[in-house]
Amino acid sequence: MGWLRKKGRREPTIRSRVSRLPEGEVAIDARGQTCPGYLLAINRAMDGLDDGTEAHLLVDYPPCTEDVRAWADEKGYTFLDVVQEGGSWHIRVRKFGPSEIMGQAMGAAVDQAPDHRLSPVRGAYLIADRETLSAAALEPAVRAALEGGAGLVQYRDKSGDREHRLAEAQALAALCHRHGALLIVNDDPGLAREAAADGVHLGRDDVSVAGAREILDNGALLGVSCYNQLERALAAQRAGADYVAFGAFYPSPTKPEAPRAPLALLRRARRLLDLPIVVIGGITPDNAAPLALAGADAAAVISGVLGAEDITAATRRLNNLMRLHW
């Protein structure tokens, strides 16, 4: 989190006192803390409050307003105001849970939608890219990632050899299913159906979500690439997609020309969407944490895991980082 990264500072002692005010409000006394110390204290106290609670944060050190706003934004809270009274500052923040945020944004119908947190689209999402992996390396690499806890694997092969692609997709589907994971096929719902895969991932030039549904079983997972376009994600949700993907969030060695997606887009998408969000583009176990904290459910990776000396260990570490949001 940006508000925690202060060069040359130790992590401060965390302490705060929480007092109940009228119904729906609490006071959190973090006096004695400096910034960002009081943000750490407030963060811990807020985690234990009910959704919808308005918190009055009391500090005796001039608040770093930008840091407070960034913290509230990352947590999905609403920053209300900062008021000085004597030698203290009162910061008001309202805590919203995911259902309230989405209900405000999308209307009451969203409340009836399935909770995205129950989806299998979670954690490390390996892209088995045939431009990166040779035929000989394909299954061993995927197996290593599965042993590290990858719950989804996407088979991506842009070649025109359908018979070869079908054989590889069938083998990967069987391998994934033995490990309790799902296989997604890139671009081609017909291939996904023939290979007994679990779903398909669609780009802007592929068949529509409705078209893919006609080809695949109703229970198949349909993912949609949304690049850096929130409107495309909202349209995918309305069309019945099961997850959306944004990126690139970091420079991508696989697709260096890919449009960059800002962290603010991810935060806003988390508030507006009741779908799992996959992030992609230059992601590694070393840089995934801010994306998880901003609301990502899964991180799609190629070189970030396949380029590691120990694929299993890298996958396991990425899974652990993504759990920051769970």
Residue with tokens 């719950």: 151
Q: Is a pLDDT exceeding 80 seen at residue 132? A: yes
- In the 8-state DSSP scheme, what is residue 251? -
Q: Which residues contact 302 (CB under 8 A, 6 or more apart)?
A: 126, 127, 129, 132, 254
In this structure, what token pair is assigned to residue 258? 């890919």
Residue 117's closest CA among 318, 274, 300, 311? 274
Residue 297's closest CA among 93, 98, 143, 1? 98
Domain containing 234: what range?
A: 107-325
Is residue 102 assigned to a domain? no
Residue that finishes a domain, picked among 48, 68, 96: 96
User: What does the pLDDT read at residue 98?
Assistant: 41
Residue 117's closest CA among 319, 298, 248? 298
DSSP secondary structure letters along 125-159: EEEEETTTS-HHHHHHHHHHHHHTT--EEEEE--S
Exactly one of 6, 69, 143, 255 is catalytic; name it. Answer: 255
Strands 78-85 and 88-94: antiparallel
Identify whether residues 217 and 68 lie together within a single domain.
Answer: no
Tens-place pLDDT, residues 158-199: 888 899 999 999 999 999 999 999 999 999 999 999 999 999
User: What does the pLDDT read at residue 116?
Assistant: 61
Residue 297's closest CA among 119, 147, 154, 126? 119
Per the CB < 8 A criterion, the answer to whether 285 and 319 are in contact is no
133 or 58: which carries more pLDDT confidence? 133
> Domain containing 294 — which CATH number?
3.20.20.70
CA dihedral 291, 296, 300, 301 (to 10 degrees): 20
User: What does pTM read for this prediction?
Assistant: 0.66
Residues of the chain with pLDDT > 90: what percent?
Answer: 55
Identify whether residues 43 and 136 lie together within a single domain.
Answer: no
Identify whether residues 193 and 317 lie together within a single domain.
Answer: yes
Give the residue-averaged pLDDT of 105-127.
Answer: 63
Identify whether residues 190 and 68 lie together within a single domain.
Answer: no
Is residue 246 assigned to a domain? yes
Per the CB < 8 A criterion, the answer to whether 298 and 278 are in contact is yes
Identify whether residues 64 and 156 lie together within a single domain.
Answer: no
Per the CB < 8 A criterion, the answer to whether 278 and 103 are in contact is no
Identify whether residues 166 and 123 lie together within a single domain.
Answer: yes
Q: Which residues contact 132 (CB under 8 A, 6 or more apart)?
A: 254, 302, 303, 306
Residue that finishes a domain, picked among 70, 96, 122: 96
Is residue 267 assigned to a domain? yes
Is residue 225 annotated as a catalytic residue, yes or no?
yes
- In the 8-state DSSP scheme, what is residue 118? G
Give the residue-averaged pLDDT of 24-41.
Answer: 71
Residue with tokens 């944490």: 289
User: What does the pLDDT read at residue 56?
Assistant: 78
Per the CB < 8 A criterion, the answer to whether 45 and 18 are in contact is yes
Is residue 193 annotated as a catalytic residue, yes or no?
no
Q: How far apart are CA 277 and CA 283, in angstroms?
A: 14
Q: How many domains does the chain have?
A: 2
Q: Is a pLDDT exceeding 70 seen at residue 58? A: yes
Residue 181's closest CA among 143, 209, 216? 143
> Domain containing 50 — which CATH number?
3.30.110.40
Identify whether residues 249 and 301 lie together within a single domain.
Answer: yes
Is residue 311 assigned to a domain? yes
Is residue 226 assigned to a domain? yes
Tens-place pLDDT, residues 265-292: 999 999 999 999 999 999 999 999 899 9
Identify whether residues 179 and 78 lie together within a single domain.
Answer: no
Is residue 271 annotated as a catalytic residue, yes or no?
no
Residue that finishes a domain, picked among 96, 124, 142: 96
Identify whether residues 74 and 135 lie together within a single domain.
Answer: no
Strand, helix or coil at 301? Answer: strand
User: What does the pLDDT read at residue 163?
Assistant: 95
- In the 8-state DSSP scheme, what is residue 181? -
Q: How far apart are CA 33 and CA 52, in angstroms?
A: 25
Exactly one of 16, 122, 130, 225 is catalytic; name it. Answer: 225
Identify whether residues 68 and 123 lie together within a single domain.
Answer: no
Identify whether residues 140 and 281 lie together within a single domain.
Answer: yes
111 or 225: which carries more pLDDT confidence? 225
Exactly one of 122, 156, 213, 270 is catalytic; name it. Answer: 156
CA–CA distances in Å: residue 136 to residues 139, 253, 299: 7, 22, 25
Is residue 172 assigned to a domain? yes
